[in-house]
Amino acid sequence: MSTDVSKKQRPVERKQVFETDSGIPIERLYLPCELDYDAKLGEPGQYPFTRGIYPTMYRGKLWTMRQYAGFGTAEESNKRYKYLLTHGTTGLSVAFDLPTQMGYDSDHPMAEGEVGKVGVAIDSLEDMEILFDGIALDTITTSMTINATAAVLLCMYVALARKQGADLRKLSGTIQNDILKEYIARGTYIYPPAPSMRLVTDTFNWCSESLPKWNTISISGYHIREAGATAVQELAFTLANAIAYVQAAVDVGLDVDIFGSQLSFFFNVHNNFFEEVAKFRAARRMWAAIMKDRFSARKHETMMLRFHAQTAGSTLTAQQVENNVVRVTLQALAAVLGGCQSLHTNSRDEALALPTEDAARLALRTQQIIAHESGVLNTVDPLGGSYFVEQLTDEIETKAWEYLRTIDSLGGAVKAIEQQYYQQEIAESAYRCQQSIEQKETIIVGVNEFVSEKDSQPPLFTIDESVRENQMKRLNILKRRRDSRNVSAAIEALKQAAKGSTNILPCILTCVESYTTLGEISNALRSVWGEY
């Protein structure tokens, strides 16, 4: 048999470009450079936290292994959570459907065709009770990917914890609550920026008193990166948004050393392995400097950048889906070597559908194998001191500071968003990336090179189309059963609070506990604040 490779199979000749995805040139060889190691690196657990925020890192405690999940009804998602907990996940991460994210109940005309599709449908406290049935909230940490309606979902979680008898001061978890990136990259905003920022700062204030162990925001670069940003842009735009949140909180009289330790971050992990590791190291160093120098933070806990990482959904391919297992493994390893505090690994089939149980289990096993078989966690910051990593960290930091100075000159993050600065920068980066793929300067295995004429497709997960009908029936029963006078009084009190300046969270909690629906609460705020 001939061993000749056909022209169809032979990789095309392409121009060799040695640079990161952010366009940082890569040298042939890295040699020692003039580094002030005491100032730039320091010890793990010490300012500026380049080498990690804890002295022992994973030698003392593993990162939290989260698997983002949620679909259909609360009953279905509850089964998936129990499945993941049984197989070793150490923290839950809740995905909500689009109507829930946008403040619509399942029976709203805008919800048609979307109920339960990209996450679980939550219309009221009753759904939250079902979602966590048999799961003690004081024994787990829960991350909720929710923004415009974050305060409502948090209050539902708190109301359920109260019903379970949990000590709220020990309740731990995270709400994303990052509304600025919704105007930039995702679009699930409801209200104009000013009242949206008020919801964020009210949440900071209320949680600092009532939920001291809760992460009140997960300032997200993930979606900015998914929209087409480079690693440098993801870092810079995320930190610029974080500055805006901290400034807004300080402006209403909050103490940075009280609410600052409850801030957390959410970053993407792409394929350019060393750039991703360096990005995380630069992020810690920059945030420490921002909190210390710009906001006069005194406590180490306030200066520590704690982050969750998720492997990059935009890098998953519908072609040759098994290749996604390799991509996710490399990305997860970069997150671990970069010092993440929690991690979600995408499932191999997510370019096609929501993950099946088998695919979700394999994604979790990927984290477990890295943790228990690779040996990378035996020493803190194993890549620290690498000539390449240290110089790349410096270059990423330098470029990110340049972006931050530009955003400051535009009046800060909110003004920059209003002027479409972020959006234009991201669009240009996305266009350059796509051009690079189409011209085969960037090779995507199985997509623009090494393709197969026949790709086998795995069994896919599907959502029962009866989900909306079932949710509507539950809503009708709930509205007949609840005390309508309590609901009306709670909604009226919420509207009055929205018109004033008092903290709005207690009024939302009262609404939730009277089984006012998410849509009714959101509509009450729409009637006062309007829509963006």
- pLDDT per residue as tens digits for the range 464-473: 879 999 999 9
Distance CA 192, CA 526 (A): 10
pLDDT of residue 373 exceeding 60 = yes
| Domain assignment of residue 203, yes or no | yes
**What is the predicted pLDDT for the residue at 463?**
79
Both tokens of residue 150?
């974050």
Q: Please, what is the average pLDDT of the chain? A: 94
| Domain assignment of residue 142, yes or no | yes
Cα-based distances in Å from 450 to 310, 316, 468, 531: 27, 16, 42, 48
pLDDT of residue 8 exceeding 90 = no
| Domain assignment of residue 304, yes or no | yes
Q: Of 34-38, 221-225, 456-460, give the range with the top mean pLDDT.
A: 221-225
**Span 399-419, mean pLDDT?**
97
**What is the predicted pLDDT for the residue at 40?**
81
**Span 178-206, mean pLDDT?**
95
Spatial contact of 228 and 180, defined as CB atoms under 8 Å apart: no
**What is the predicted pLDDT for the residue at 3?**
44
| Domain assignment of residue 509, yes or no | no
**What is the predicted pLDDT for the residue at 278?**
98
**What is the predicted pLDDT for the residue at 68?**
83
What percent of the chain stands above pLDDT 70?
A: 96
Of 351, 342, 347, which Cα lies nearest the Cα of 325? 347
**What is the predicted pLDDT for the residue at 7?**
45
| Domain assignment of residue 171, yes or no | yes
3-class DSSP state for residue 509? helix
**What is the predicted pLDDT for the residue at 38?**
60
| Domain assignment of residue 173, yes or no | yes
**What is the predicted pLDDT for the residue at 247?**
97
* DSSP H helix total and E strand total for the chain: 21, 9
Summarize pLDDT for 41-69 with one digit per residue, the tens: 889 999 999 999 999 999 999 999 988 88
What are the DSSP E strand ranges found in 443-494? none
Contacts of 417 (CB under 8 A, 6+ apart): 180, 183, 184, 193, 423
Distance CA 416, CA 419 (A): 5
**What is the predicted pLDDT for the residue at 14?**
53
**Could you tell me the pLDDT band of residue 454, with boundaries at 50, 70 and 90?**
confident
Cα-based distances in Å from 419 to 213, 248, 393, 411, 414: 36, 19, 30, 10, 9
**What is the predicted pLDDT for the residue at 4?**
46
The pair phi, psi for residue 178, each rounded to 5°, is -105, 85
Segment (H or E) for 108: none
Contacts of 32 (CB under 8 A, 6+ apart): 387
* DSSP 8-state secondary structure symbol assigned to residue 185: I
| Domain assignment of residue 74, yes or no | yes
**Span 430-437, mean pLDDT?**
95
pLDDT of residue 459 exceeding 90 = no
> Using CA of residue 503, residue 165, residue 308, residue 428, what is the dihedral sign?
negative
Of 16, 49, 20, which Cα lies nearest the Cα of 384? 49
**What is the predicted pLDDT for the residue at 124?**
98
Task: Give the domain range for residue 84.
Answer: 64-438
**Could you tell me the pLDDT band of residue 36, with boundaries at 50, 70 and 90?**
low
Distance CA 147, CA 420 (A): 20
pLDDT of residue 456 exceeding 90 = no
> Using CA of residue 253, residue 256, residue 262, residue 268, what is the dihedral sign?
positive
Cβ burial 310-322 (10 Å sphere, 16+ → b, else e):
bbbeebbbebebe
What percent of the chain stands above pLDDT 90?
A: 89
CATH number for 428: 3.20.20.240
Summarize pLDDT for 66-113 with one digit per residue, the tens: 888 888 899 999 999 999 999 999 889 999 999 999 999 999 999 999
Summarize pLDDT for 264-305 with one digit per residue, the tens: 999 999 999 999 999 999 999 999 999 999 999 999 999 999
**Span 108-123, mean pLDDT?**
95
| Domain assignment of residue 520, yes or no | no
Half-sphere exposure of 94 (CA within 13 A, CB side): 34
| Tally of domains within the chain | 1
Summarize pLDDT for 243-271 with one digit per residue, the tens: 999 999 999 999 999 999 999 999 999 99
**What is the predicted pLDDT for the residue at 316?**
97
Summarize pLDDT for 314-346 with one digit per residue, the tens: 999 999 999 999 999 999 999 999 999 999 999
* DSSP 8-state secondary structure symbol assigned to residue 120: B
